[in-house]
Amino acid sequence: MVTVTAIIPTYNRAGMVGEAVDSVLSQTFGDFELFVVDDGSTDDTAGVLARFEDPRLAVVRTRNRGVAAARNLGVGMARGRFVAFLDSDDTWLPEKLARQTAYMERTGLAASQTQETWIRRGRRVNPRRAHLKRDGDFFQSALALCLVSPSSAMIRGEFFDRVGGFDEGLPACEDYDLWLRMLLRGPIGLVDEELTVRRGGRPDQLSARFVGLDLFRIRSLAKILGAEKMSPWHRDCMEKELVRKARIYAGGCIKRGRDEEALRVWELVRKSLRGPLEGRL
């Protein structure tokens, strides 16, 4: 057994995945294994990964099934007590694993994240106030938007298994879905240091490829409401956010002449609520 299993899912990122792998292999903390899950790349990703010769690194190639399945596959092979994810367009600072592992050991928490440096189109940018990292029980805030970055997260392996892993049925917002299920069970800690570099602003990212990401968040909320045990307070918060997101999404559909899509969303919401939808609009 090792202390940490690092998992990098990648798809057609030959130009960036090498930097991500380098940032893991350059960690000052040495007790880790690294799985790079190549999710059916058709570019030179395989060639880039073949240049690395490090016994801690294993490359797994699979057919294209999406990032959630790629991450879950990596966790399924993990021997580490902790799992840490890194997207193939992001990087870690050299002290990331050392600082975060020490934090996890000291606090006994099941999950944590670090602060990030944001890079957009090669330039550093400051995240908006709404995106600032939280510490502890921030369930209510996390309903509005994703407040945990996979590349900054570290999770105890048994906790990841107990929660159920990433939902492979969600093409996007699979991380939003997982963090909510985790926050239903307890807090997510914060290592208050910028130890992760998050690089964005490119057309190959999921946030750019999918229009109307709130549809996937609506699907996530509806699913969690139907499957998870939770307090009345948690349920009330989730139902209010589900109705709010549906109102915005369905309104956009109607403006674009997609009335049937709006009706499908409202029917999903109606089935998810305990009590009538009328009076909540």
Angle between helices 214-227 and 174-183 (to 10 degrees): 40
What does the pLDDT read at residue 208?
42
Mention every residue, 6+ apart, whose C-beta is less than 8 A from residue 80. Answer: 1, 2, 3, 4, 5, 32, 33, 157
Does a structural domain hold residue 279? no
The pTM assigned to this predicted structure is 0.92
Domain shared by 227 and 185, yes or no:
no
Q: Give the tens place of pLDDT for each residue, 236-277.
A: 999 999 999 999 999 999 999 999 999 999 999 999 998 776
Domain shared by 33 and 150, yes or no:
yes
Q: What percent of the chain clears pLDDT 70, i.e. is strictly above it? A: 94
pLDDT band at 278 (very low <50, low <70, confident <90, very high): low
DSSP 226-259: HH----HHHHHHHHHHHHHHHHHHHHHHHHTT-H
Residue 177 in contact with residue 168, Cβ under 8 Å?
no
Tokens of 252: 């956009």
Does a structural domain hold residue 185? yes
Does a structural domain hold residue 150? yes
Which residues span the domain enclosing 161?
2-205
Domain shared by 118 and 240, yes or no:
no
Q: Give the tens place of pLDDT for each residue, 170-193.
A: 999 999 999 999 999 999 999 999
Domain shared by 70 and 161, yes or no:
yes
